[in-house]
Structure 1
């Protein structure tokens, strides 16, 4: 039996897609100091005899057996094959077929990025759309610890196209994004899903990000959790927990929650499952600091990519919400540094949410503010708002195809250079007019309109009797919104401010001509100088 001495990352498989117009990185492990070679062939060349490759390269493994073979870029193309082999050994090559070059995006985050297409509100309509063979998808196997391999559903660990049933268990927002971008760019598009429901951003960073205050809070909490725990005991309890977590029984019971349950149904579910096994924080918990970076993301480095889609933050609300900008910016800087590539990040701001199972939305307003701060501070980081797509009793909004459309608008405008309206409206100033109204001016507000519902504007006064009340009237004037205060509210007695959707649960339907809803804000009201 022929055996290969080369081990490649799990996503190096037939049907894969490489990033166009960037260096090609082929890497893995082999015997120490082994001479590794790679050849790309076009569809009309003979791969079997390694004749006339269109691109070839060589590299030597280091003393530990790791190798990195770098080749010059190729343009967008399809129907290639790739052979990777050890020279001068007679060992048969690893042959990968149906290879394409295009743009690759990583779809990262927690459950709202992982959210399967089959749960989407528009799944039936999407299922009737023509299939697009130019979209390549891959779900990174979810691995909580070294040796953990059972937490995977169908569609994990291999490349598939739009006509494969595995698309039903692929990220809905990422799939929608891919359809939009492929149509606009006209090239093959690859999406690598690298996500896990319930994960903190602290699980997706290398340890150096968490070593300094205030982010060392995450490491200290982990150390406190495991300090007095026997390693054998935590292993036994954890593996028992994973046996349950990975079981078909658990998946069947949990699935109705993702389709959507009323609050009453959720309370019944919690009562019925209150004795289910749990996996304690420790070396077998998927959400431990740095765990998913080490077990999942690191395998993708330094594979060239176009950029990252990031939908996460729910698990970092609550007490730690005020440091989320530091955590998210630390993640972005670390990924870019370790990839040695300043690729773009496209962020989804958290949707409105009240309570779901035992979760609540405490700190969501702060996380949204920190997401916007990160996007406005770091280069090539862009944010889209979805304050019109939430649900009070469901942490998983069901209109994920629309989320993907909004991410695609960001990419088309900021990454692919299309002259389109692609950003969510953003308030830039609020001032008190001579008529006693408040004028709020917006950027990215062409075609500003009220959308399909009301928007939660509030006027706030300070002083002895602080008040927060809705305006008596809201009027849109081009790219401005004019707010009329109620007669009972005086805006002249002290400092005042205006907010839109700046609460843990609030709705915003104010939108621009591209159907992008305004970002939440709270701004001081400026008075005209005399």
Structure 2
């Protein structure tokens, strides 16, 4: 009995010792956490004290080693910690060690926040038509770029962005860079020889009120009241589920009733007989309406094109301009690609072995979700094979596959007031910037009268957020859009005037002339190089 008791006591003591060892091991393994901005490849602003921050267990010691110096702090009761680095000269790449974490490839240079909507987001891949040779020939490891992931929140400002990474300007990453940011950073580096960091926090189609905080919108109660409606995440989820179900039902009905897809010989087949189809001018609105409203649903277009023997079996490119709304394309009965919405240029690769000498069949299945379906004028509609080109005819055979009611609308929650500030600007609050580039306004042309006031509120709001009362703002003027006789052109010009008014009334704001880079038939003009050059000229005036 005594032996058993002694054995039990020993087991208990050994268990306690093991438990204590595990506890101390757990304490020893306590790790710090860093926000996604503080990561490999980050660029820190030169000439200013900059914070490095994160979280850890309360009371955890944090040691930071950087550029030959060591800094220490302790996590507070809430687990937050921050270390201020002194102003530093441009340079790098460096490593930074924070406890057991080592960050690599850190640069010190000039960092810019770039924000707005689709013309700020438009990628390098979309401007290759105009600048392919220049882009393919350039890499620069002293330029780093981070795209803030999409996020909206209607309850509170977020502390961190969603997962993201800093990317060097190289062939692996360049196509995902914003085109404007690319040309701005490239030309800025060429002029200053100082590393450049770009944080791009933008979202296509969004209005300015989505980017301002609740406090910043206090003079616009209609927007703060609108935001309150979406504070319930359950409501948002319910709306999304209902709208997604309606959208799926519409798409299913579209597919089921499309005669061209389900015909015994599909209408995209090379040998389909389209002799009974109507011939239409692709740019005429007549095929797109029934006389009093647009025909939504599926429109099929077919065209034969004769090709010389020199094209036989070769790889080629089919250019189909821009199409409203979506399309799927077939060549000689084979599917070659599709685009799901109206804005991107239609550039389809035709693989080797598909084209032949003589007659070749091109078929387009156009889907119209709502509004007037159309082909955009003054865009390229042609086949390209090496150095040879052949233009497509404006005359196409046309037949309706199915007529549908307008597709159900969906709520763009990212467009609601305050949400993007909370999700995509507030998490950047500790980062130090040289200045901000703002390219936005297209989505506010319908309410242009309030735009100058909103833009001034945004600038005041962000300066408070970043603790920079004199933070420079560089406002990209909207590029011209639409034909001069288009009624919508008036609202566009009025908003351009509002941009100028806001810049004129703010001593630390500069309007970057940009209207002359526009294209009448494209809300996303390709020339982002001119705007980048003018940005550099404005920014370097203050150096």
- Shared fold, TM over 0.5: yes
* Partner SS for 1:165: coil
Shift of the alpha carbon at 1:373?
Answer: 1.2
Q: How does 1:11-50 map to 2 (within 5 A)?
A: 11-41=37-67
* Partner SS for 2:516: coil
Contact 1:263 1:393 in 2 (8 A): no
Separation of aligned partners in 1, 2:57 and 2:95: 24
Shift of the alpha carbon at 1:238?
Answer: 6.5
Question: 1:387-431 deviations in whole A, cap 9, x for unaligned?
Answer: 222122211111112211111111122x22xxxxxxxxxxxxxxx
Shift of the alpha carbon at 1:136?
Answer: 1.0
Shift of the alpha carbon at 1:11?
Answer: 2.1
* Aligned with residue 280 of structure 1, among 411, 415, 418: 411
User: Paired residue for 2:503?
Assistant: 375
Change (3 A) 1:266 1:22: same
Separation of aligned partners in 2, 1:109 and 1:236: 28
User: Paired residue for 1:207?
Assistant: 214
1:336 aligned onto 2:463: yes
Gaps of 5+ in 1: 42-53, 86-92, 148-155, 417-530
User: Paired residue for 1:295?
Assistant: 423
* Aligned with residue 83 of structure 1, among 85, 97, 110: 97
Q: How does 1:68-467 map to 2 (within 5 A)?
A: 68-85=82-99, 93-120=100-127, 121-145=129-153, 157-212=164-219, 215-223=220-228, 230=235, 233-237=238-242, 253-254=339-340, 257-259=343-345, 264-265=374-375, 278-280=409-411, 285-318=413-446, 320-341=447-468, 342-354=470-482, 360-361=488-489, 363-413=491-541, 415-416=542-543
Shift of the alpha carbon at 1:59?
Answer: 2.9
Separation of aligned partners in 2, 1:110 and 1:117: 15
TM-score normalised according to structure 2 size: 0.62
Separation of aligned partners in 1, 2:55 and 2:187: 37
Question: 1:505-529 deviations in whole A, cap 9, x for unaligned?
Answer: xxxxxxxxxxxxxxxxxxxxxxxxx
Change (3 A) 1:164 1:3: farther
Relative to its length, the structure with more strand (as a share) is 2
Separation of aligned partners in 1, 2:209 and 2:216: 9
User: Paired residue for 2:277?
Assistant: none
Separation of aligned partners in 1, 2:79 and 2:248: 34
Gaps of 5+ in 2: 1-25, 156-162, 250-325, 328-336, 348-371, 378-397
Shift of the alpha carbon at 1:235?
Answer: 4.8
Separation of aligned partners in 1, 2:404 and 2:51: 46
Change (3 A) 1:242 1:384: farther
Contact 1:59 1:69 in 2 (8 A): yes
TM-score normalised according to structure 1 size: 0.63
Contact 2:46 2:90 in 1 (8 A): yes
Change (3 A) 1:316 1:56: farther
Separation of aligned partners in 1, 2:423 and 2:121: 17
Shift of the alpha carbon at 1:36?
Answer: 2.4
Shift of the alpha carbon at 1:158?
Answer: 1.4
Shift of the alpha carbon at 1:253?
Answer: 2.5
User: Paired residue for 1:495?
Assistant: none
Change (3 A) 1:231 1:312: closer
Separation of aligned partners in 1, 2:244 and 2:441: 27
Separation of aligned partners in 1, 2:462 and 2:165: 24
Change (3 A) 1:83 1:243: farther
Q: Count the aligned residue pairs.
A: 374
Shift of the alpha carbon at 1:173?
Answer: 0.7
Question: 1:463-485 deviations in whole A, cap 9, x for unaligned?
Answer: xxxxxxxxxxxxxxxxxxxxxxx
* Partner SS for 1:70: strand
CA-atom RMSD, angstroms?
Answer: 3.7
Larger Rg: 2
> Which is bigger in relative contact order (C-alpha 8 A, separation at least 6)?
2
Change (3 A) 1:125 1:80: same
